[in-house]
Amino acid sequence: MGAKTTRPARGQGGSMLPAHDVIKVQRHDRHGARPDALKAFLLLASCLLAFLYLPPDLWTSVMRMLKERLALLVGAGTAQSAPPGFPSSGNGLWYRQPGKDWNTELLPIGNGYLAAMIPGGTHQEVTQLNLESLWTGGPFQDPAYNGSNWPASRRGKLAKEMQQIRNSIFASLTGTIDNVEELAVPIGDYGSYAGAGYLLSTLDVSGRVSDYFRWLDLDNAVARTQWTQNGTSFLRTSFCSNPAQACIEHINASNTLPTLTYALSTTLEAGLPVPNVTCLDSSTLDIRGQVGAPGMVYELLARVQAPSAAR
């Protein structure tokens, strides 16, 4: 876990507006100027004069602070509404374009054992899959290792700490904090996770995309992507259920759903050996390989299950 947690800057393309955020517009006086405009100008002028006598290091710090304040003001002036269905608590992330950078733009979902990274594609979604037991080390040599998860007895305290961190983020002027260490676990004997392949879901639809939104509901751990294309509105919902031990993807369409096909890419991670893929039966793929010597040997089974009318 990184040392910093950030939320998108308020403004176009990544704004996150809690329900209590309101943009206030002041009335102009009869001379056409805002009552506070002159005060702001005089304050700025006095600050500029004072800055002339600041040492260089302090000048740099002050200018950085002013840039942050200006960015917030500009963002407030161009603020957009969150998408329909966005949590009223404001606990979420939303975007106006699909994600490209894995580390900063893809949306994570998981249930403690299974996980997925969601880029929010339109006609094709490329979901990266992850299993808790598939990693770049050898077989489990430490029977006490539990995936670096805190024990169940600590979950109540973790929930309170998470809420405190959320409150700190929203109270911060920049949306950045440095105190997420409470969520980190002690460093132990563990390796890096290896991806379990990519699930490709493809809709037979073309044309210009409009009304695009994607968001992660942090209250319910659900990722959604909505858009309009070729006269049809689409909504893709993804989440991972702990009781069912499954990750779910569901697609709704305002008109008849176009042909939908699924494929599994067996590419795990760049630089890892290519696995051996065979057919276990008419509907099951058997994917076997080794996550780099002397890493663990693994086997993945991918099966298609659908009603006969949908095949």
- Quick one: CATH architecture of 92-149+187-305? Distorted Sandwich (2.70)
Q: How far apart are CA 77 and CA 23, in angstroms?
A: 8
Q: Is 215 helix (H, G, I), strand (E, B) or coil?
A: strand
Domain boundaries, the chain: 92-149+187-305, 151-184
Distance CA 209, CA 124 (A): 12
* Residues 82 and 16: beta-carbon distance below 8 Å: yes
Low-confidence ranges of the chain (pLDDT < 50): 1-35, 71-78
What's the pLDDT at 15? 33
Q: What is the pLDDT of residue 60?
A: 63
> d(Cα 168, Cα 266) in Å, to the nearest integer?
41
What's the confidence (pLDDT) of residue 143? 66
- Give just the sign of the alpha carbon dihedral 228, 84, 116, 255: negative
pLDDT at 267: 72
pTM over 0.85: no
User: What distance lies between CA 288 and its chain's CA centroid?
Assistant: 30
Q: 37 in helix, strand or coil?
A: helix
